[in-house]
Amino acid sequence: MMQGGMLRPYSSEIGMLSRIADALVIWLTLLATIGFFGVDAGSIYSYAGFLAIASYLFMAETQSVYSSWRLLSIRAMSLKVLAVWGGVVILTIGIAFLTKTSADFSRRVMISWFLLVPVFLVLERLIAQFIMRGMRKRGMNTRTVAIAGAGEHALRVAQGIFDSAWMGLHFVGVYDDRRELRLPLVSGRNLEIRGNLQDLLQNAREGKIDYVYITLPMKAEGRIIEIVNTLADTTASVYLVPDFFVFDLMQSRWMNVGGIPMVSIFESPFFGVDGWLKRIEDLVLGTLILSIIAIPMLLIAIGVKLSSPGPVLFKQRRYGLNGRIVEVWKFRSMKVMEDGQKVVQAQKNDPRVTPFGAFIRRTSLDELPQFINVLQGRMSIVGPRPHAVSHNEQYRRLIHGYMMRHKVKPGITGWAQINGWRGETDTVEKMAARIECDLQYIQSWSLWLDIKIILLTIFRGFSGKHVY
């Protein structure tokens, strides 16, 4: 019988093969698409192919696409791949637009290529997962897992292991100094205490345990340090499962400052490359959308001017990134220009709203000038909707975590809007529901999520029963 963990020494080679396979999928799909449509494969397609491969591999590294698949579900892995390829598509279209070479490409070829590549990339991973699972069922490429410390967190970790048999993790048991402790059933299985922590260390030294999850409470700092230091003399991979559940974590991440590891509790998802990707997305999509809506905006501006006296644009102070005040533009929809210490939200049959203003508010057409704000860098296409400064000052005292929504730029549309939280928020509960959606977006951000929100906005984000 083959030994468990047969593929362990070849993890770097497997990662390299995965990168090569992805590059081949992108390149061969392009060639196949060109051949299918009978298009002359000029050098411009080669440039597009090399650009796509280089940008995909770069973005994939930033999103940890080639890290161990063992701890990722197929769905999570597929979403990562789709998000990265979505970024490649946006970048490719943007460069073609800026270099005025888009007309040199066959639209049938490019659209087919853009749609087929993610299908084959995911299919490639499904086949690899199928092969790996078959090997794990035969006892190959498995890992043994033990938990140090019996408690609520140990139960959660064990439950996750039992629910994810596809990861190829073989659960050894729980180790705790309290031998008399009785543990409940998890997934119909009895969690057996296999020994004390000294037994765990001995088994790890003998190579019987691959992964150790330490679930001791953080107050047991001394014991945790002792276990970690001792396990450093083994080949086991050690994971600390801290009892951070007492905190309201938002987009937490590990970082290193001067060699000292620390975990952030409140943080923006747009660090480094992610921030550049978000900005590129805004610039490319913002430019494309503005070129499409330029004439409709001109017609709306004329309608606003004819409907009532006053300026075409309403410029209101809103909180932007990091709580800094920015000026947000809208087509004027009211007879008044309120931007003081007290701003009353529009209500049903509000006398301040002009007839034409009511129409553009219901259809969100009054928001179109904000695409100019996107190009200025004040806003993003997708993000938490900006609130009037007076509303911010009111709700930040009433809703826990309200100001965390300003860890990112405000957006024209967002997760809250496509989930129905658009328009008047006449109760604290309604505003709290909107803020909860905003924070969920910040926690889960990806290029794929932005694209999803933009597409859903087209179908459900331009109107709402509470929009007046």
Count the Cβ atoms, other than its own, within 10 Å of residue 240: 14
Domain range enclosing 105? 8-137
End-to-end CA distance of the chain: 71
Q: Kindly report the backbone phi and psi dihedral angles of residue 185, in degrees, each rounded to the nearest multiple of 5, phi listed first.
A: -75, 140
Q: How far apart are CA 398 and CA 402, in angstroms?
A: 8
Q: Is the pLDDT of residue 1 over 50?
A: no
Q: Is the pLDDT of residue 287 over 90?
A: yes
Output the CA torsion sign for 117, 81, 457, 283.
negative
User: Among the three residues 137, 158, 176, which one is the final residue of a domain in this structure?
Assistant: 137
Helix-strand-coil split of the chain, %, nearest 5: 55, 15, 30
Give the pLDDT score at 9. 37
Do residues 110 and 30 make contact, with C-beta atoms less than 8 angstroms apart? no
Average pLDDT across the chain, whole number: 79
Q: How far apart are CA 244 and CA 30, in angstroms?
A: 47
Show Cβ contacts of residue 170 under 8 Å, excluding neighbours closer than 6 positions: 4, 142, 143, 144, 145
Tell me the sheet residues that pair with 169: 143
Query: Does residue 86 lie in a domain region?
Result: yes
Q: How far apart are CA 459 and CA 258, in angstroms?
A: 48
- Are 205 and 277 within one domain? no
DSSP codes, 154-197: HHHHHHHHHH-GGG-EEEEEEE-S-TT----EETTEE--EEE-H
Query: Does residue 261 lie in a domain region?
Result: no
- Are 99 and 234 within one domain? no
Q: Is the pLDDT of residue 28 over 90?
A: yes
Q: Kindly report the backbone phi and psi dihedral angles of residue 419, in degrees, each rounded to the nearest multiple of 5, phi listed first.
A: -100, 15
What value does the mean pLDDT take over residues 123-145? 71
Q: How far apart are CA 271 and CA 283, in angstroms?
A: 18
Task: Please choose, from the candidates 412, 423, 426, 427, the residue with its C-alpha nearest in 3D space to the C-alpha of residue 457.
Answer: 412
Q: How far apart are CA 468 and CA 129, in angstroms?
A: 51
DSSP codes, 92-146: HHHHHHHTT-GGGS-HHHHHHHHHHHHHHHHHHHHHHHHHHHHHHHTT-S-EEEE
Q: Is the pLDDT of residue 425 over 80?
A: no
Query: Does residue 257 lie in a domain region?
Result: no
Query: Does residue 266 lie in a domain region?
Result: no
Q: What is the DSSP letter of 417?
A: H
Give the pLDDT score at 19. 87
Query: Does residue 293 lie in a domain region?
Result: yes
Percent of the chain, pLDDT > 90? 21
- Are 113 and 147 within one domain? no
- Are 172 and 223 within one domain? yes
Tell me the sheet residues that pair with 266: 250
Task: Please choose, from the candidates 462, 467, 368, the residue with its C-alpha nearest in 3D space to the C-alpha of residue 426.
Answer: 467
Give the pLDDT score at 303. 92
Amino acid letter, residue 186:
V
Task: Please choose, from the candidates 162, 228, 231, 220, the residue with its C-alpha nearest in 3D space to the C-alpha of residue 191.
Answer: 162
Q: How far apart are CA 55 and CA 276, in angstroms?
A: 13
- Are 380 and 446 within one domain? yes
Which has the higher per-residue pLDDT, 254 or 304? 304
Task: Please choose, from the candidates 116, 117, 122, 25, the residue with its C-alpha nearest in 3D space to the C-alpha of residue 73.
Answer: 122
User: Among the three residues 246, 263, 294, which one is the final residue of a domain in this structure?
Assistant: 246
Q: Is the pLDDT of residue 11 over 50?
A: no
Query: Does residue 259 lie in a domain region?
Result: no
DSSP codes, 301-333: HHHHHHHSSS-SEEEEEEE-GGG-EEEEEEE--
- For 45-54, give one letter per residue: b (16+ CB within 10 A) or e: beebbeebbe
Q: Which residue has the tokens 């086949």?
A: 127
Give the pLDDT score at 256. 54
- Are 316 and 378 within one domain? yes
For the ranges 39-43, 70-74, 356-360, the lowest mean pLDDT is seen at 70-74
Where does the pLDDT of residue 4 fall: very low under 50, low under 70, confident under 90, or very high at 90 and above?
very low
Instruction: Give per-residue pLDDT as tens, 111-122.
Output: 999 999 999 999
For the ranges 126-135, 137-146, 226-235, 331-340, the lowest mean pLDDT is seen at 137-146
Half-sphere exposure of 24 (CA within 13 A, CB side): 7
Q: Is the pLDDT of residue 289 over 50?
A: yes
Which has the higher per-residue pLDDT, 50 or 344? 50
Where does the pLDDT of residue 203 fall: very low under 50, low under 70, confident under 90, or very high at 90 and above?
confident
Q: Is the pLDDT of residue 298 over 90?
A: yes
CATH number at residue 232: 3.40.50.20
Show Cβ contacts of residue 24 under 8 Å, excluding neighbours closer than 6 positions: none
Q: How far apart are CA 168 and CA 70, in angstroms?
A: 7
Query: Does residue 48 lie in a domain region?
Result: yes
- Are 196 and 312 within one domain? no
Per DSSP, the three-state class of 268 is coil
Where does the pLDDT of residue 417 fall: very low under 50, low under 70, confident under 90, or very high at 90 and above?
confident
- Are 312 and 445 within one domain? yes
Instruction: Give per-residue pLDDT as tens, 72-91.
Output: 567 777 888 888 899 899 99
Q: Give the total number of structural domains in the chain.
A: 3
For the ranges 34-48, 198-212, 253-267, 312-326, the lowest mean pLDDT is seen at 253-267
Does the predicted TM-score (pTM) go above 0.85?
Answer: no
Instruction: Give per-residue pLDDT as tens, 442-452.
Output: 888 888 889 88
Q: What radius of gyration, in Å, describes the C-alpha atoms of the chain?
A: 27
Q: Is the pLDDT of residue 185 over 80?
A: no
Q: Is the pLDDT of residue 214 over 50?
A: yes
